[in-house]
Chain A
Amino acid sequence: MHCFESLDHLKNSYNTRISQIVDEKKAGKKLVGTFCLFVPDEIIFAAGADRIILCGGKNDTVSIAEQYLPRNICPLIKSSFGSIVNNGCSGVKSCSHFSMVDLIVAENTCDSKKKMYELLGDYVPTYVIDLPQRPDSPEALNYFLGELYKFKNIMEQLTGNKITVEQLKMEIKTSNETRQLLRRLYELRKIDSPPICGVDVLKLLQKQYFLSTEELKASLRMLINEVERVKPDGTHKPRIMISGCPMSSGNTKVPEVIESRGGVIVAEESCTGTRSFWDLVDENKDPMLALAERYIKIPCSCMSPNDRRIENILELAREFEVDGVVYYTLQFCHGYNIEKYKVQQALRKAGIPMLFIETDYSNSDIEQIGLRVDAFLEMLS
């Protein structure tokens, strides 16, 4: 696989970004921490605040969280919570951005997150946006719109800035540009074999809500430029789509296994994948309504019914001409684990093989996952 200079450049982006935030905070700018795609960036930026993602992908802080939370909830929640409440006693260091946020903007998605936020409020001011979980009902959109207005007020209170329609429209336009850039990058993955591997794309996507918008866009433009220049080598490797739980920064376990064993990941139907950018916000509508309409359609497994997700998976599988789907879940993520059944049935009907991998953040099962992946790739070729 090719090495891209723009990705090398990203390796040093953590420290640059942290010092950027330190400077912003000195100048009085507020920093908001988020966990989820359902929280519209546009509203945070329109209020003149900055934003950083708090989802944890590292195993180290899981045991810290287990002092407070049950063991049998998903590692993403434990890792994030552990990173935030960590006081360094156990000798584990959290990444520094976890202690920098002025306000956490959470959302009512899965049960574990909801209850975790209640505990988190004791450590960091936490505001929760309530989500209607039957997104297709006529009342849901209005309710969500009301929640977004409340959130807008919260942001105005936090920053002391009034959010104007013009600012919102401008932020929507900027965010749409990012989404379109990501689409362009994904378009290039349709080439056989893809000029960029899945692990590289994932590492970039893991920084999507960490970097500033300007930095992300600049990196994307550079990367697209580089990828476009790669000459396809004409070899065919089994084309894999990942579908399921998010893979937060620090967690590239399964994609690395897949690609080191001879597969290539061409798309990710996940929060660190298409779900974050596939749909644009309508720029010709009232901005608050346009945001509500776009965000409520995110096909998260906490929604019910969630047939939209199944349709989306089938569409993506066809569009990216995948040979097989790796359905990836985190242990104890009930939503995605249960939805596996419906996805499996739909894929079976469409004649697309699926491999199910349920895992956590530890490395204990690397060999077992490797065996399943080997067998799956042999089955596809």
Chain B
Amino acid sequence: MISVGIDAGSATTKAVLVKGDRSIIHTIRPTAFDFISAAEMAYKDVLDHAGVDKKAVDHVYSTGYGRNSIKFADKAISEITAHALGVYHLYPDVNGIIDIGGQDCKVISVNNGRVIDFLMNDKCAAGTGKFLEYTARALEVPIEELGELALASKTPAGITSMCTVFAESEVISLRARGFTKEDIAAGLIESIAKRVAVMARQIGLKQNVAFVGGGAKNAGIKVALEKELSISFCVPSEPQITGALGAALYSIR
């Protein structure tokens, strides 16, 4: 059985091809403006990598913000369910998932791959990739370097604004007051960690927690969030594809 999951996210589109439930091929592409063509291209990517013909694919399942626009998918499922299934495949024992994505963050409480409860922040950029993207700009640091920079700080600056726009002004005033880039970067990351930790505690995530999404690629956030929650996370080698993986596995399940 060959199944493909496509996660049409706000920033990146991910596709995962699963043969049986063993071999996993994936791709990650920027979503850009057109959800549909990004999804089509991601689909083509995994087919090419796997050397599989379109006709040999049994099921295509979609998830992510653009999930309902992908007409070639058999069915659309929510990211919450998709992440729960994808993470279950990698770490059957986890009972919590934290996902920091491009424009939202989610905390999910799970049991054997089933969703028990979840919380999302998608009404404002606080605690999301967008927050880092904007504030890194005010710091004039490429976003990829923000995490490493933060780890070098010993005295993180206090960033109190949860609002991305205000945090950006706060960064500028911290720069004016002579704070180092390292300390400001650490302050920004700490503020995301605090925000996400509140959500995680609200649904009672205590241990065996997986950390996924683009945010999990940022070593600074991982360290800060682990410290905030006093736990250590399971982080998949490719944390951005658990949604697409879960979508692919949905049909197999």
Give the B-binding residues of A (Cβ under 8 A): 353, 356, 365, 367-368, 371-372, 374-375, 378-379
Contacts A365-B123, A367-B65, A368-B122 given: A353-B78 contact, CB under 8 Å? no
Contacts A353-B117, A378-B115, A379-B115 given: A371-B78 contact, CB under 8 Å? yes
In the assembly, what is the distance between CA of A356 and CA of B77, in Å?
20
Contacts A378-B77, A378-B81 given: A371-B118 contact, CB under 8 Å? no
User: Looking at the complex, which one of A356, A365, A374 makes contact with B78 (CB distance below 8 Å)?
Assistant: A374
Interface string of B70-108 (1 = CB under 8 A from A): 000000111111000000000000000000000010000
18 contacts between A and B (CB under 8 A): A356-B119, A367-B65, A368-B122, A371-B65, A371-B79, A371-B120, A372-B120, A374-B78, A375-B79, A375-B81, A378-B77, A378-B78, A378-B81, A378-B115, A379-B80, A379-B81, A379-B115, A379-B118
Which B residues touch A372, using CB under 8 A?
A: 120
Interface string of B235-248 (1 = CB under 8 A from A): 00000000000000
Give the A-binding residues of B (Cβ under 8 A): 65, 76-81, 104, 114-120, 122-123
Which B residues touch A378, using CB under 8 A?
A: 77-78, 80-81, 115
Distance in Å: Cβ of A333 to nearest Cβ of chain B: 16
Whose C-beta in chain A lies nearest to the C-beta of B118? Answer: A375
Whose C-beta in chain A lies nearest to the C-beta of B77? Answer: A378
In the assembly, what is the distance between CA of A368 and CA of B80, in Å?
12
In the assembly, what is the distance between CA of A353 and CA of B80, in Å?
15
In the assembly, what is the distance between CA of A371 and CA of B104, in Å?
12
Centre residue among A353, A367, A374, A375 by max chain B CB count within 10 A: A375
Which A residues touch B118, using CB under 8 A?
A: 375, 379
Distance in Å: Cβ of A97 to nearest Cβ of chain B: 33
Whose C-beta in chain A lies nearest to the C-beta of B103? Answer: A368
In the assembly, what is the distance between CA of A367 and CA of B76, in Å?
14
List the 3 closest A-B pairs by CB distance, nearest first: A375-B80, A375-B78, A374-B78
Which B residues touch A374, using CB under 8 A?
A: 76-78
User: Looking at the complex, which one of B77, B81, B116, B123 makes contact with A368 (CB distance below 8 Å)?
Assistant: B123
Distance in Å: Cβ of B166 to nearest Cβ of chain A: 15
Distance in Å: Cβ of B102 to nearest Cβ of chain A: 14
Distance in Å: Cβ of A340 to nearest Cβ of chain B: 11
Whose C-beta in chain B lies nearest to the C-beta of A364? Answer: B123
In the assembly, what is the distance between CA of A353 and CA of B114, in Å?
13
Which B residues touch A379, using CB under 8 A?
A: 80-81, 114-116, 118
State whether B122 touches A371 (Cβ < 8 A): yes
In the assembly, what is the distance between CA of A379 and CA of B76, in Å?
14
Centre residue among A353, A367, A372 by max chain B CB count within 10 A: A372
Which B residues touch A353, using CB under 8 A?
A: 116-117
Which A residues touch B114, using CB under 8 A?
A: 379
Which A residues touch B120, using CB under 8 A?
A: 368, 371-372
Whose C-beta in chain B lies nearest to the C-beta of A354? Answer: B117
In the assembly, what is the distance between CA of A352 and CA of B80, in Å?
19
In the assembly, what is the distance between CA of A374 and CA of B116, in Å?
14
Which A residues touch B79, using CB under 8 A?
A: 371, 375
Which A residues touch B104, using CB under 8 A?
A: 368
Distance in Å: Cβ of B52 to nearest Cβ of chain A: 28
Which B residues touch A368, using CB under 8 A?
A: 104, 120, 122-123
Distance in Å: Cβ of B111 to nearest Cβ of chain A: 11
Which B residues touch A365, using CB under 8 A?
A: 123
Distance in Å: Cβ of A240 to nearest Cβ of chain B: 16
Which A residues touch B119, using CB under 8 A?
A: 356
Which A residues touch B76, using CB under 8 A?
A: 374
Q: A371-B120, A379-B115 are known; give 19 further A-B pairs, CB within 8 A.
A: A353-B116, A353-B117, A356-B119, A368-B104, A371-B65, A371-B78, A371-B79, A371-B80, A371-B122, A374-B76, A375-B80, A375-B115, A378-B77, A378-B78, A378-B81, A379-B80, A379-B81, A379-B114, A379-B116
